Amino acid sequence: MKRYTRCLLYSVLVLGFQGTSWPNHHEDKLAGIIDRFSNEDTALQYEARRELASYVADGTAPSQVNGAEKVTKELLAYIKDAKVPHEAKKYMVRDLARVGTAAAIAPLSKIMTGSDGLLAEAARQALEQIQGGNASSALKKAIDNAKDDDQRRVYIRTLANRAEQVNAGYFKRGLKSGDAVLAHESALALALLRDAQSVKAMEAAYHSSSGELKIVLENELLRLGGTSDKLVVEIQQNAVVASNKQAALVRVMSSGHGESTDLLKAALSSADSALRATAIRLALTHGKQSLVRNMVDSLSSDEWRIVLNALFSFAGKGAEDLALKAIEEGDVGVQIQALRALAIYGGNRSVDVLLGYYSGKDKALQQAAAYAIERMPGTPLNNRMNKLLKSESEDDLALGIELLAHRDIPNAKGRLFKFINGESSKLATEALKTLSTTANEEDLYKLLFLARRSEDPLKKTITGMLKKVASEIGSLELQAKVAAL
């Protein structure tokens, strides 16, 4: 028997024998659950925890009228009962974080500043979540009486995370207070409030701040929609943290700020390769591709990859030209990406390039070419395949047959059967190989018919292929017929 099953059975027995220890609540279900927290076996305590969770969930379901109010009241009654096991209180206080109503705020505030660290932290978390009531004044009192800066920071952050507009003034003053802990937490608090006045206060503080506070403000101001374009430009040029220059450039380009093109040009010529990479990506996705086009002769391999990733921004032949140029660059990573790009942007001039790499010796480039051959839209590739399939050259014919495994062109199956029935055993074998990856049940029946009519070596070749493929995709009826060949 698995341990948890044993635990469940045991706990039922324990519940039966223990009866109840809570005379005030002995008739209710919750009392029974709390009883089980007294068990010394921690696993059985956890069974009670699961029942408590279910009790709280069921009691606060949308179908329950005033469910949260009732459950909050019940939980609070047990939490203040000295005889209730500590483990039960721990989970009940935690549950209040999700179901507690404003009625819980005063008792939780008392627990938060009490001597039981575990319950205090659970109460603090609950106070962070429960809306309404007068939690703010209790938290401010706790802030004033905190034993050290760590505890003070925690209480301030709790107040901040409640994101109550009524505390905006408190945090604005805190930001200017000169108190490092309060100023830092106030910056985060105002960012959570997000209103225009809070953002304005943060902008003002940004100019006069330094060190950690400036970094916090820089991060938060970039996050907030209300930050002025002027300040974002300032951060783009003078950010303390390098990655914030990139983030600010993203923001400037998105907002279409008047200085965006100048900032973009500066970033494109920056010595910071990460900033330059961001600038190339942004130029290509914000209609400034001409700035990048002027750079193509000096692009690094990684920069080529960024360009290839945004080829859509180069209309018409421009995209195909760039992809073909990238293939000439020589870096295998760039070549592969460029070949794949031809699946979308390739035209007449790309067909021979693709077939060349498909027929080459480099496996990675073959795969990239095959990827494009499968997907390239329009007629240029189909025309070329038709030409190959009508060629006098057996090698060309074989290539054409092989490509039919990758690309569905009109009458492809009919052509393959024609080669199977043809004079060249080499081409018949090639056609069978292609069919082995593209055939359906109907095709396999045709092959069965052919096999019955044929003589060796063709019969042997078809039979071998049929036995392998029919077992994978054929019906049971077909498999039986193939087995009888």
Which CB atom, from 43 or from 485, has the smaller least distance to other proteins? 43
Other beta carbons less than 10 A from residue 478's beta carbon: 18
Among the residue ranges 203-211, 320-328, 369-377, 447-455, the one whose residues contact other proteins (CB under 8 A): 369-377
- Residues 6+ away with beta carbon under 8 Å from 453: none
CB of 42 to other proteins, least distance (A): 4
Among 81, 259, 302, 329, binds other proteins (CB under 8 A): 302
Residue with tokens 């939980």: 75
DSSP letter, residue 14: H
Q: How far apart are CA 157 and CA 135, in angstroms?
A: 13
Map 413-437 to HEC letters. Answer: HHHHHHHHCCCCHHHHHHHHHHHHH
Which CB atom, from 206 or from 358, has the smaller least distance to other proteins? 358
CB of 484 to other proteins, least distance (A): 19
Q: Are 158 and 126 in contact (CB under 8 A)?
A: no
Among 20, 38, 313, 366, binds other proteins (CB under 8 A): 366
Among the residue ranges 169-177, 203-211, 312-320, 473-481, the one whose residues contact other proteins (CB under 8 A): 473-481
Among the residue ranges 9-17, 229-237, 247-255, 256-264, the one whose residues contact other proteins (CB under 8 A): 247-255
Q: Are 434 and 416 in contact (CB under 8 A)?
A: yes
| Tokens (6 digits) for 372 | 């494009």
Question: Which helix or strand (DSSP H or E) is residue 71 part of?
Answer: helix 67-79
Q: How far apart are CA 52 and CA 37, in angstroms?
A: 10
Per rule CB under 8 A, is residue 85 in the interface with other proteins? no
Q: How far apart are CA 426 and CA 415, in angstroms?
A: 15
Per rule CB under 8 A, is residue 68 in the interface with other proteins? yes
| Tokens (6 digits) for 278 | 């961001």
Among the residue ranges 27-35, 75-83, 235-243, 345-353, the one whose residues contact other proteins (CB under 8 A): 235-243
Per rule CB under 8 A, is residue 305 in the interface with other proteins? yes
Interface with other proteins (CB under 8 A), residue total 106
| Tokens (6 digits) for 135 | 């939690």
CB of 337 to other proteins, least distance (A): 5
Among 137, 437, 453, 457, binds other proteins (CB under 8 A): 437
Other beta carbons less than 10 A from residue 432's beta carbon: 22
Among the residue ranges 61-69, 230-238, 416-424, 459-467, the one whose residues contact other proteins (CB under 8 A): 61-69
Q: How far apart are CA 209 and CA 358, in angstroms?
A: 60
Among the residue ranges 194-202, 205-213, 290-298, 470-478, the one whose residues contact other proteins (CB under 8 A): 470-478
Q: What is the footprint of other proteins within residues 103-162 (CB under 8 A)?
A: 118, 121-122, 124-126, 128-129, 150, 153-154, 157-158, 161
| Tokens (6 digits) for 139 | 């938290």
Which CB atom, from 147 or from 363, has the smaller least distance to other proteins? 363
Q: What is the footprint of other proteins within residues 313-342 (CB under 8 A)?
A: 332-334, 336-337, 339-340
Per rule CB under 8 A, is residue 291 in the interface with other proteins? no
Contact characters 181-200, other proteins, x per CB under 8 A: -------x--xx--------
Among the residue ranges 52-60, 172-180, 255-263, 345-353, the one whose residues contact other proteins (CB under 8 A): 52-60
Per rule CB under 8 A, is residue 252 in the interface with other proteins? no
Among 364, 383, 411, 453, binds other proteins (CB under 8 A): 364
- H helices within 224-347, ranges in order? 229-238, 242-255, 260-268, 273-285, 289-293, 301-309, 317-328, 332-345
CB of 369 to other proteins, least distance (A): 8
| Tokens (6 digits) for 455 | 């003589």
Contact characters 271-290, other proteins, x per CB under 8 A: ---x--xx-xx---------
Among 66, 294, 421, 475, binds other proteins (CB under 8 A): 475
Q: At what angle do helices 117-129 and 86-99 cross, to 10 degrees?
A: 10
Q: Are 473 and 441 in contact (CB under 8 A)?
A: yes
